[in-house]
Amino acid sequence: MTNDAQLQRPIKVAVCIAPGTEEMEAINTIDILIRAGFEVTTASAASDGALIVAGSRGIKLVADVALVSIADDPFDCVVLPGGLGGAECFRDSPLLVEFVNQHKYDGKLVAAICAAPAVVLEHHQMYPQAIMTAHPAFMEQIPEDRRRTKRVVFDVNGNLLTSQGRVPRRSLLWKLSSVWLAKRKQQKWPNRWSCGRTCIMTCYQGCRLFRLTPP
């Protein structure tokens, strides 16, 4: 694929959900990435294949597809929202673990929020060398030498992005967007989002929605 074709191809992101997924971490991630021009697929990792699952607060979340139907499809990024129940479902799903591992082996970006870094990634030793953060309640599950207390941590070598939870989700989403947009612009911060839209996500002076400056 030529460089021009790569720049034109939308960035494909798989956001996984399961019973007990934290609603804000899933919905806000999906919403903001779509606004930024990413092609987002919401995949249910529910053990029964259900597309409609109850989140951590009982709110119904609706997936586009069951994870099994896209298990062999390549994505540029995989996102694992938090919520203890959802993270435990991810942890106990061999399909989800294999899906994440395959994208890790392919050098794709993986992002995990809240409980997911500790309950899923650390439990399965998926990133044994990577630095990461997690919700403070799960921080002790990460070895001290790799544990970071920052709100958002990006391990360059592992291409792993982790966040403590819903409060810093804006920082996570900014970093998630910046990592991919920087790659698309050959490490140069773009004048606007890849979608080319003029909306609240324009970033001439940093994101007007987040009121942050580019990292």
Cα 123 to chain centroid, rounded: 18
Structure tokens at 34: 């779509």
Pairing of strands 39-44, 109-113: unpaired
Residue 94: count of CB within 10 angstroms of its CB: 7
CB 129 within 8 A of CB 98: no
Give the Cα separation of 134 and 17 in Å (integer).
18
Q: Does 114 participate in catalysis according to the annotation?
A: yes
Select which of 89, 114, 203, 207 is catalytic.
114
Q: What is the Cα–Cα distance from 114 to 145, expressed in whole angstroms?
A: 19
Q: Catalytic site residues?
A: 114
